[in-house]
Structure 1
Amino acid sequence: MAFGSMQDSGRQAPMSEINVVPLVDVMLVLLIIFIITAPLLTHSVRIDLPKAENVPNITQTEHVELAIRADGSLFWNGEPAELNQLAPRFAAKVGQEPKTELHLRADKLAHYEQVARVMSIAAKAGMTRIGFITDPSSQ
C-alpha cells in the first residue's frame, strides 16, 4: 500500500485501494470461534424418546405384528415365537403376500440389538415394509 510518493505534486489523490487487513482479522477470529465451538455441537445428548401423539394408522393390508419384550422374548401375532423360527415364517408370509407389512411393537426397555436383529431377519426374508408401533396415549 502506498500512502505517499517521493514526488511532490502538491495534489493529494484519494486512496483507491481497499484495506483488507481488518477483514482478514475478523475472518480469522470467526474461524477460531467455529473451530472451538464445532466439537461442542456434536456432543450427543441422552434423551428418553417420547411416546407418539398421533392418530393410530389403521392398515388394510396383510400384516404381521411382532412384539419384543424387555427380556428378549418374541410374540408373533400374540403367540410366543423363537428367534430361529422367524426367517422361515417371514419367508412364508412374503411368499403368500409380497406386500405383507411387519409391525414391530418393542418394549421401551427392549435392547436395540434384539430389534435390529429382527429387522435384519425380516429384510433378508424379503419384507420391505417394516414399521414401529408406538403408544399414542399422552404421558
Structure 2
Amino acid sequence: MAFKTSSDSDEMAENHEINVTPLVDVMLVLLIIVMVASPLATVNVPVDLPSSSAAPQPQPNEPFYLTVQKDMSLTLGESDVVTLSALKPALDSALQGKDKRIYLRADKDLNYQDLMKVMNALVKAGYGQIALVGIELPAGSQ
C-alpha cells in the first residue's frame, strides 16, 4: 500500500491506488511458465497396442456384423458382399433403422488407415454405434 506525506500534518494519508507493476510481472512469469510447459504436455510416442483381456460384454440376441477382409472386401452379416461406395444403401436396407449397433470385425493384418476409412464411411452414413470385435484371450495371458 502506498502512502503520501503532506507537509501540513504529521499523519500519513492512505493512497487508494493499486500498484500494477508487480501484478504485470507475476502475469508475465505465469505466461512464460505456460508457454514452456505446454509443448511438454503433448505426447508423440509410437504405440504398440496390446490385446485385450477384459471381461467379455454380453452380446445382443442378433448382432449385425460388418466384416473387413485384408483386401478391403466388406461382408454384411454372413454372406452379403458389398463395396465401400455401396455401403450406405446396403446398410439402410439391411438394418431398417439407424439405432442398431454395428459389430465391426477386421482382419488383424488390415492396415489401420483402411479400418479408419471403413469407420468413417459408417459414421458418414449415419451409423455411429460401432463396436470393434476381437478375439477374447483367457484371463492371465497377454
2:5 touches 2:12 (CA, 8 Å); kept in 1? no
Matching residue's letter, 1:25:
D
> Displacement, 1:60?
2.4
Given the two structures, how large is their TM-score scaled by the length of structure 2? Answer: 0.63
State how 1:11-26 maps to structure 2 within 5 Å: 11-12=11-12, 19-26=19-26
Q: Which residue of 2 aligns with 1:57?
A: 57
- In 2, distance between residues paired with 1:31 and 1:125? 44
- In 1, distance between residues paired with 2:95 and 2:10? 94
- In 1, distance between residues paired with 2:98 and 2:11? 89
Does residue 90 (structure 1) correspond to residue 91 (structure 2)? The answer is yes
Uncovered stretches (5+) of structure 2, i.e. residues with no partner: none
1:90 touches 1:122 (CA, 8 Å); kept in 2? no
Matching residue's letter, 2:5:
S
Percent identity of paired positions between Structure 1 and Structure 2: 37
* Counterpart secondary structure, 1:90: helix
**Structure showing greater relative contact order (alpha-carbon pairs closer than 8 Å, 6 or more residues apart):** 1
2:104 touches 2:132 (CA, 8 Å); kept in 1? yes
Q: Which residue of 2 aligns with 1:116?
A: 116
Uncovered stretches (5+) of structure 1, i.e. residues with no partner: none
1:62 touches 1:101 (CA, 8 Å); kept in 2? no
- In 2, distance between residues paired with 1:134 and 1:120? 19
- In 1, distance between residues paired with 2:25 and 2:62? 65
1:79–1:23: structure 2 CA closer, same or farther, 3 Å change rule?
A: same
State how 1:1-139 maps to structure 2 within 5 Å: 3-5=3-5, 7=7, 9-12=9-12, 19-77=19-77, 81-83=81-83, 86-87=87-88, 89-95=90-96, 100-123=100-123, 127=127, 129-137=129-137, 138-139=141-142
> Displacement, 1:46?
2.4
- In 1, distance between residues paired with 2:61 and 2:99? 8
- In 2, distance between residues paired with 1:29 and 1:37? 12
In the TM superposition, structure 1's runs of 4+ consecutive aligned residues that sit over 6 Å from their partners are: none
